[in-house]
Structure 1
């Protein structure tokens, strides 16, 4: 397939790009620094001024672009989090509208933040009521922009990512650092749910959505075994053979990080119902397997 993709140089996107080229797909990568990149037989870099007339027939579009959530959430930062997602999605939708022959599928990155925060509710793709906090608002508007692709008859998938675990990016290096430094412990009361997924499984599930015609609408990109923060840290301490003794109150994180602290001290139990119903097989369904793999491959 010819695949148009954004965010292909990021933590998740770079791994997805490798997987897709290994499957002999041809990637057309939108980048803000396209002129600094070197094209290959399987990768062509394009800038964000590219028009539909300049593209070959595109079979699929994957959007993984967006301002990082990490950082103090000033008014400007929050505007960037929202506008970066809306702007790129609008651009892609317009590109698809201008294409004479439409792509077969549009995979639009999204987040479990759609559901809001809860310690006692299990969310699946059947949950249609979004949360009422900032992140839920961002995701709702983001998906609304992407939904215009559906009106063109394009199969549209909203991949709602949980916390991506990998050694060379995502949240895990920061989450595991206190444990490795012998200062591990749960955050706040430790009861908040962490809906996580090994980055390898995230790549695999995106590829599954690309190929499986039954995958459309919201898709939770999470492992089937979410963990409470206290259990996650306990397991990490066991895997790395470190103590688990320091427990930091929520107020510490709100003072240090402001509103962004909710990413650490709150959470949600998100279950990948749709993937499991379509017989998707996780390579790392359990936290034990995932942390062991990350530890064993940390020097590679």
Structure 2
């Protein structure tokens, strides 16, 4: 396939790009500074001013671009979180409109934050009512922008990512650091859900979406075994053979992180019903397997 990707140089995007090139797909990665990148036989870097005429026939488009959620959520930061996603998605839709031959599939990033926060509900892709908080609003608008691809007759997937567990970047190094320093413990009352997924399973699930033509609409990119924060941290302590004793109140995180603290003190149980119904097989379906792999590899 010829695959166009945004966000292909970030934590997840770079791992996905490496996986896809290993499968002999030809990737065109949109980046702000293509002149600083080195092209290869399977990897071509392009700028965000690229037009449809400058590209070969594109089979698939994957949209992962967007401002990081990490950082103090000032008014400006929140605006950038939203506008960075809408701007790139709008550009891609216009680019696909201009293509004489449309891509077969458009996979656009989203997040399980679409569902809002709850300690009680189990959310599947059949849940249509979005939450009411900031992240739910961002993902709803992001998906609405991406939905214009459906009107072009393109199979569209809204990849609702959970918490990606990877060794080198993302949320896991921050989550595991207190454990490694012998100060592990749950956050707030520990009842908040963590809908997690090993980064390799996330890579495989996006690849699965490229290849399986009946998979479309919202897809939860999560493992089938979400955990409450207290159980997640307890398991991490067991894997790293560390104590699990320091329990910090929610107010500590709100005072130090502001509104972004809700990513830590609240959560949701997002079950990957579509992935399982379509026959996707996880390499790391359990938290034990995922944490042991991250520790040992």
TM-score of the two chains, using structure 2 as the length reference: 1.00
CA distance, structure 2, for counterparts of residue 39 and residue 137 of structure 1? 37
CA distance in 2, matches of 1:258, 1:172: 20
Residue in structure 1 matched with residue 24 of structure 2 by the alignment = 24
Which string of whole-angstrom CA distances, capped at 9 and with x for unpartnered residues, describes residues 27-61 of structure 1? 00000111100100000000000001111110100
Residue 181 of structure 1 is matched in structure 2 by 181
Aligned-partner Cα distance in 2 for 1:259–1:36: 35
Question: Residue 50 of structure 1 aligns with which residue?
Answer: 50
Give unpaired runs (5+ residues) of structure 2. none
Q: CA RMSD in A?
A: 0.4
- 1:1-300 alignment runs, 5 A limit: 1-297=1-297
Q: What's the secondary structure of 1:93's corresponding residue?
A: helix
Cα displacement (A) at 1:174: 0.1
2 CA distance for matches of 1:206 and 1:264? Answer: 25
Q: SS at 1:170's partner residue?
A: coil
Shift of 1:217: 0.2
Equivalenced residue count is 297
Give the C-alpha shift of residue 198 in structure 1: 0.0
Mapped partners of 2:38, 2:280: distance in 1: 35
For residues 89 and 167 of structure 2, the distance between their equivalents in structure 1, rounded to whole angstroms, comes to 29
Find the aligned partners of 2:220 and 2:264 in 1 and give their Cα distance: 20
In the alignment, structure 1 segments of 5+ residues that lack a partner are none
Partner Cα distance (2:192, 2:276) in 1:
24
Aligned-pair distance for 1:100?
0.5
| Deviation of the 1:19 alpha carbon | 0.8
In the TM superposition, what is the alpha-carbon distance from 1:214 to its structure 2 partner?
A: 1.1
Q: Distance in 1 between matches of 2:292 and 2:120?
A: 28
1:48-101 per-position Cα deviation (integer Å, ceiling 9, x unaligned): 000011111101000010000000000000000000000000000000000010
Deviations 1:194-225 (A, max 9, x none): 00000000000000000001110000000000
